[in-house]
Structure 1
Amino acid sequence: MAKNLVIVESPAKARTIEKYLGRNYKVLASVGHVKDLPKNKIGVDVENGFQPEYITIRGKKKVLDELKKEANSAEQVYLAPDPDREGEAIAWHIASELGKKNQAKIRRVCFNEITERGIKDGISKPTEIDNERVMAQQSRRILDRLVGYLVSPLLWKPLKYGLSAGRVQSVALRLICEREEEIEKFKPEEYWTIDGFFHMNGNAEEELKARLEKKDGKKFKIGNEEEATGVLDALKKADFEVSSVKKRRVKQSAPVPFTTSMLQQEASRKLGYSAKKTMMTAQRLYEGLELGKQGPVGLITYMRTDSTRVSEDAVDDARGYISGEYGDKFLGKGNKKGKSKGNVQDAHEAIRPTSVANSPAKVKQYLSNEQFRLYKLIWERFVASQMADAEYDQTTILISDGTYEFKTQAKVLVFAGFRQLYIEGDEEKQKDPDAILFDVAEKTPAKAAKFDPKQNFTQPPPRYTEATIVKTLEAEGIGRPSTYASIISTIQDREYVELSEKRFRPTELGRIVNRLLVSNFPHIFEIKFTAGLEQDLDKIAEGEAEWNQVLEQFFGSFKPELDKAGEKFSVDLKLDSECPKCGGELVIKYGRNGSFAACSKYPDCDFSSDYERQEDGTVKLVDKPKDQPTGIECDKCGKELVIKKTRFGEMLACPGYPECKNIKNFVRLPDGNVKVIGKDEQLKTPCPKCEKGLVVKSGRRGMFIACSGYPDCDFTANMKSDENGDIVPEIIKVDDKVECDKCGSKMALKRGPRGQFFACTAYPKCKSTKPIKTLEDGTITSK
């Protein structure tokens, strides 16, 4: 029997750690949190110092029983969940469940990297559970519960049941909605630019392009075509010469190693990864992957960090590689660190490879494509951070006639430095910044060959991308880097925002929710207030503030707004349109099928209409979709059946509802017509699995095809029609290599109320899911 018990969060991490510690240690996984606030009530005693009521999470009793059993016979118990506030809270909850007799032998250990060195170093330096960090996590959980549990129900009556309001997610939604309003209200302003093309010394082959920037030594703006024409007339009469030539050597600094937010931003820009995908993939790289004969190895250090600090050993590791691969001239000056911010938690190093020797090329064969691309990004960024700065020769040339001044500037790369290995994502999408300028001297005559005037208009601020919303959240101090992925994922899952051309825009539901929350809670969902609360949580973790006092102060601001909103939770959702039926005001309402425009004088006036949102933010009334006739007679009342659009999709129904409630299942044919399908209808196509007959069945989510040999054969499929109009099974090719990022198990394709998704086959022990994407050959794989 093992003498010592080590408890971690993840089964994947447990396997890696057990390999390094040997047979005197047994490593078990809690599989995340084991205790939490109850789901069916608030679980916080507001009247008694905000004391939380923790309960064992459903399904975790068996896990805790096993941990207690092993702890009772162990000499030492090492609690080793992730080295952050969430991990500290998990350790605290586990310790509270292991019983009084085991408390004396419990120690807290932290692993910054899952390697032999990192594990043995961590186990040799046990500490006590950090109660201040635990209280910081507990305070965040209570704050989120108070807002979510007390505000969310207010959305249900005017909108729909199940909507949620989050303390931090709602602020992120506010940012996206306010940016959309800025875009809609933006009024473009006209301006003109004039580029000149000059021949040096009368040589037509030496042509420089420069932009007009100044008049009489001052910058000026050309506002319209008339002004541009006047300037052009003056330019055509002028004689130009080179008035100034300035050359200087400039440097581009090597990048610092990744923090969590930097990694999320760069993975979004360079790889197209969502913040959620980035963090899930990084988690697997941190916990350990099988590298052939090496066995399981953690490839990167802990991926939730605000720090750009790295250890001297890691620096020496990188510098040795750079010297051998590129030569000493490519070595940087030393351990590179970024500028510290006020709310940095410097407990962990930056995100880096655990060993530079494990180059991307060396480990590629053992990683999935997603894992390899992210590891390559982290590895190259870290090595580049220890390389020399890039150097350019920059030349600035001014061309003038004494009144008007043109300017051109370019730089030529003379020493690649870190760019030999790594170029940041923003630069990759830009045009090549390097340009060659002719070597000209001051007073050189410059003959104007032509002038190119262009009309331009100022542009509205761009919508947020994954990278820019993360950057903004960090800059505003909203949330923590470890929470950005869940913040973005939540507002998407709630259908408050959607991605259009990789940029976020609010849905109609998101607009309405935002207006309701901001109007009724102007203080709680204010950006500066939320950021200030984040700083208070940091103070709790540092022992500079008492957790219950922070909660008391928050609740003092929250309660008056909550009471007022509870009396009348409303907002002005009026439209700038009159009711075409009675002339009253139109307002936005929300029903089972989404938002619509309706008369404010309801029930006296029952006018309602669908609407479309225009580019300027105004709405345009549109006719509701009409029922589609089918030519099929209702077998109950004789009327023509029609296809209706509902929130559940299309349905074939009788227009005589509610007198006649006849509905039919159907499939669309290739010619656009429909075919009625009866329950248990026999199909011509045999089962592709056992070759028995196929039949049409009815389930909770509609009709589907199943094998008549059930339960001996469990084949099922969706329906489609072939070119002959016959109903056939829709055969879906599924990627069988999709693995769970949390536990490493295979994932299976499942179907839910919102469509298909991948779910972990280790359910219910692991409840991880992944969205799907369809490849060109029709294969369904994970995003």
Structure 2
Amino acid sequence: DLTAVLATEGGDTFLALYPVGEKEKFSLENERSATEVLERVRPGPWTVAEVRKSERRRKPPAPFKTSTLQQAGSSKLSLPTWKTMKIAQSLYEAGHITYMRTDSTNLSNDAMGDIGRLVEAQFGKNYHQPRSFTAKSKGAQEAHEAVRPSSVALTPSDLAGQLKGDDLRLYEMIWQRTVASQMAEAVYDATSVDIISNGVTFRATGQVLKFDGYMRVYLERGDDDPEEVEGLLPELSEGQVLNLEELTPEQHFTQPPPRYTEATLVREMERLGIGRPSTYAPTVQVLINRQYIRAESRRLFVTPRGEVVTELLETHFPEVVDVEFTARMEEELDEIAEGDKRMAPMVSNFFGSFSAHVEEQKDKMSRPERPTDEICPDCGRPVVKKFGKHGLWFLSCSGWPECKWSKQLDEAGNVLPDPEGTGEECPNCGSELVAKTGRFGPFVGCSNYPGCKYIKKEPPKETGEICPDCGEPLVERRGRFGPFVGCSNYPKCRYIKKDPKKKTSKKKSSKKKTSAKKTTGKKTAAKKKAAKKTKPRKTTPSTAAPEDPSPAPTS
């Protein structure tokens, strides 16, 4: 493509592009043809051939439902879907918003009246335009209202003292979207200008906002709306001569579809009818927690574990992983809810056939293994590519377990470098100790593994504190329940430093209030129960130690 930077006599600049339109999209086949056009148009003159203007209107988006709330939380606030729902849950429990698991975009008449009065008071009557919305998603049940503020009169600034950080940002977004849904359309002029130089037409496009309407409150690019209003073009007229500031050729390549974000994945799940508002965020979180996908710069990437699991499921359970399966299941559940089907026969039929299929396939499924062109350097047998239990591929001799040669691969499938020697000798077998990386991080172990499974334990780091029981230094340790501080003289001294307990004054006061409500006839029994509750219990001294907290060595 060719991009021309043009300027008016007054100094206003704008961009014009060639080729123009879909028919001419591939007219510049190679660098040579682009150079020919460039040399042809460079001398000019550059003249405005035609100016076209048309008024366009842009409607506000509907109030939030669960899926669009999660999408906007991701694209506008950079929140993962689970966190958006967690914050929405806390806002709902505090009485600030309506129920947040809904596939409805409806607003009650009372809410629409409150919003209308607020819009007219704050922005004027010309900004108010009542409208109703209906859900367009597949299988929408619309059992609840849209996600909206419980009271639209409670503005984000009113809650600034109660809500902080992401809580306030999410409430503000919900408030803005709800108010915007009852405001007038935005109006703008779409302008298209054709400029000719030596018979070659370039085109400049732009949009000029005439009336902001709902955009005065809420503007979003992405999830539900078309692209935002473009930049301004200077006033141009037919026959006007322009100055060429710069002319540059640019090569464009066909781009693959962008990777999913959490927002676009939820949108696709909704489009396909997979799941319900309450299951969108948990489904995405399960995929991440099980390491089937990973998030990087908000984009979702499939991991080797995810690829292997998908391949096995598509091979052995194609009906279950079909994208239509969940949608069909949801439809049947809807029919049960409406009384058109009975639940027990439907569940029995599915469970019976699925259980039989699992029994049939379980002996056919095995850990994936793929052939390679490599030969084992130890025994000369072929090398195969196996999928490890920690979610990565590795190279192994096909003669295993007789030959134990193997090489670990990284996530991209490249061979990891050999472990670097430390110059130390293994105290068990005399082989050299090497620096390795395991599933719990870097460590130093014997190079003769698996023949020798020695792992060097680094001395624990001292905290600068003294053990109150034996006077030895306290050190940082890690056990099966996480990091802790304990005595360096373990196991002779089993002292473990405990974190201070949280105060429970609120709970005590609530118990007093509850007991005060009891009737006079029950006072004696209440006192006896209280006496039993306050009976002193045997306490365990702080020096009592649990099992050995030190981690088991891993290879």
Q: TM-score, normalised by structure 2?
A: 0.78
Q: Does 1:589 align with 2:364?
A: no
For the Cα contact (< 8 Å) 1:596–1:611, is it kept in 2? Answer: yes
Q: Which residue of 1 aligns with 2:465?
A: 686
1:223 aligned partner, one-letter code: E
Distance 1:222 1:562 in 2: 57
Higher strand proportion (structure 1 or 2): 1
Asked whether the 8 Å contact 2:15–2:204 carries over to 1, the reply is: yes
Whole-angstrom CA distance in 2 between matches of 1:694 and 1:600: 51
**In structure 1, what is the Cα distance between the partners aligned to 2:439 and 2:259?**
29
Change (3 A) 1:535 1:632: same
Query: What are the residue-to-residue correspondences of 1:384-463 with 2, within 5 Å?
Result: 384-400=180-196, 404-426=200-222, 433-446=229-242, 448=244, 450-463=246-259
Using a 3 Å threshold, how does the CA distance of structure 1 residues 208 and 663 change in structure 2: closer, same or farther? closer
1:359 alignment counterpart: 155
Matched to 2:51, the amino acid is V
Q: 2:2 aligns with which of 190, 194, 218?
A: 194
Matched, 1:665 2:433: no
Q: Residues 290-439 of structure 1: matches in 2 within 5 Å?
A: 298-332=95-129, 334-400=130-196, 404-426=200-222, 433-439=229-235
- Provide closer, same or farther for how the CA distance between residues 595 and 689 of structure 1 changes in structure 2, counting only shifts above 3 A: farther
Is it true that 1:647 corresponds to 2:426 in the alignment? Answer: no
225-234 or 236-245, larger mean C-alpha shift: 236-245
1:176-216 deviation line (CA, Å, top 9, x unaligned): xxxxxxxxxxxxxxxxx11123455xx37354421113389
Q: Are residues 449 and 648 of structure 1, via their aligned partners in 2, closer, same or farther at CA, if it must alter by over 3 Å?
A: closer
State whether structure 2 residue 428 is matched by structure 1 residue 622: no
Q: Distance in 2 between matches of 1:445 and 1:697?
A: 77
Specify the SS of the correspondent of 1:314.
helix
Q: Distance in 1 between matches of 2:22 and 2:28?
A: 14
Task: Measure, in 1, the Cα distance between the counterparts of 2:398 and 2:306.
Answer: 22
Given the superposition, is the C-alpha separation of residues 692 and 373 from structure 1 closer, same or farther in structure 2, using an over 3 Å criterion?
A: farther
RMSD: 3.8
CA distance in 1, matches of 2:478, 2:53: 75
1:259 matched to 2:65: yes
Match of 1:283 in 2: 89
SS at match of 2:255: coil
- Is the contact between residue 574 and residue 585 of structure 1 (CA under 8 Å) also seen in structure 2? no
The 1-side partners of 2:229 and 2:22 are apart by: 30
> Is 1:242 aligned to residue 48 of structure 2?
yes
State the 1:354 CA deviation.
Answer: 0.8
Aligned partners of 1:509 and 1:595 also within 8 Å: no
One-letter amino acid of the structure 2 residue matched with residue 282 of structure 1: A
Residue deviations 1:455-488 (CA, integer Å, cap 9, x gap): 2222222221111111111111111121011111
For the pair 1:531 / 2:327, whether they are aligned, the reply is yes
Work out the CA distance in 1 between the residues paired with 2:497 and 2:22.
Answer: 82
**Among 240, 261, 271, which residue is 2:77 paired with?**
271
Contact 2:419 2:435 in 1 (8 A): no
Deviations 1:426-458 (A, max 9, x none): 399999744222322334445655422112222
Segments of 5+ residues of structure 1 without an aligned counterpart are 1-192, 289-297, 667-675, 718-734, 737-783
Between the aligned partners of 1:543 and 1:280, the Cα distance in structure 2 is 33
Corresponding residue number in structure 2 for 1:543: 339
Which has the larger displacement, 535-544 or 651-660? 651-660
Matches within 5 A, 1:541-620: 541-551=337-347, 554-555=350-351, 558=354, 561-570=357-366, 573-574=369-370, 577-579=373-375, 581=377, 582=380, 584=382, 586-591=384-389, 594-600=392-398, 602-603=400-401, 606-614=404-412, 619-620=413-414
| Distance in 1 between residues matched to 2:23 and 2:283, nearest whole Å | 50
- SS across alignment from 1:337: coil
3-state SS of paired residue (2:49): strand
- Cα distance 1:660–1:414, how it changes in 2: closer, same or farther (>3 A)? closer
CA distance in 2, matches of 1:309, 1:714: 57
Q: In the alignment, is the contact (CA less than 8 A) between 2:44 and 2:198 conserved in 1? A: no
1:622/1:430 Cα in 2 relative to 1: closer, same or farther (>3 Å)? farther
TM-score norm. by structure 1 comes to 0.57
Q: Tell me the amino acid that sits aligned with residue 275 of structure 1.
A: T
Whole-Å separation in 2 of the counterparts to 1:663 and 1:196: 66
Q: In the TM superposition, what whole-angstrom CA distance separates every residue of 1:711-741 from its partner, at most 9, and x where no partner exists?
A: 9985369xxxxxxxxxxxxxxxxx99xxxxx
Deviations 1:475-531 (A, max 9, x none): 111111210111111111112211112211122222211211112112210112332
Find the counterpart in structure 1 of residue 526 from structure 2: none
The separation in 2 between residues aligned to 1:250 and 1:537, in whole angstroms, is 43
Give the unaligned 5+ runs of structure 2: 504-555
Question: What's the secondary structure of 2:103's corresponding residue?
Answer: coil
Separation in structure 1 between the aligned mates of residue 387 and residue 473 of structure 2, nearest angstrom:
45
| Identity percentage of aligned residues | 34
One-letter code of the match for 2:416?
A: V
Rounded Cα–Cα distance in structure 2 between residues aligned with 1:225 and 1:557: 61
Distance in 2 between residues matched to 1:391 and 1:377, nearest whole Å = 23
* 2:20 maps to 1:224: no
Tell me the secondary structure at the aligned position of residue 424 of structure 1: coil
For 2:223 and 2:477, how far apart are their aligned partners in 1? 55
Amino acid at match of 1:322: V
The question of whether the paired residues in 2 share the 8 Å contact of 1:216 and 1:403 is answered with: no
Change in Cα spacing, 1:605 to 1:215, as seen in structure 2 (3 Å) is: same
Distance 2:468 2:51 in 1: 78
Alpha-carbon distance between aligned partners in 1 of 2:165 and 2:387, rounded to the nearest angstrom? 46
Structure 2 Cα separation of the partners of residues 336 and 441 of structure 1: 42
Is contact 2:467-2:495 (8 Å) kept? no
Letter in 2 for 1:598: S
SS of the aligned residue for 2:409 comes to strand
Q: Alpha-carbon deviation of 1:640?
A: 5.8
Pairing 1:464–2:260 present? yes
Distance 2:229 2:361 in 1: 54
2: CA distance between counterparts of 1:388 and 1:691?
Answer: 76
Partner Cα distance (1:630, 1:492) in 2: 40
Counterpart contact for 1:639–1:656, Cα < 8 Å: yes
Once the two structures are TM-superposed, the CA of residue 341 in structure 1 deviates from its matched residue by 3.2
- CA–CA distance in structure 2, aligned partners of residues 314 and 593 of structure 1: 51
Q: Residues 482-493 of structure 1: matches in 2 within 5 Å?
A: 482-493=278-289
Q: Structure 1 residues 633 and 343, CA, compared in 2 at 3 Å: closer, same or farther?
A: closer
Which of these two proteins has the greater Rg computed from alpha carbons?
Answer: 2
Secondary structure of 1:523's counterpart equals coil
- AA partner of residue 407 (structure 1): R
Alpha carbons of structure 1 residues 438 and 687: separation in structure 2 relative to 1, 3 Å = same
Contact 2:467 2:473 in 1 (8 A): no
How many Å separate the matches in 1 of 2:225 and 2:292? 29
Check the 8 A contact 1:520/1:570 in 2, yes or no. Answer: no
Map 1:46-195; keep pairs closer than 5 Å. 193-195=1-3
Equivalents in 1 of 2:233, 2:307: separation in Å? 51
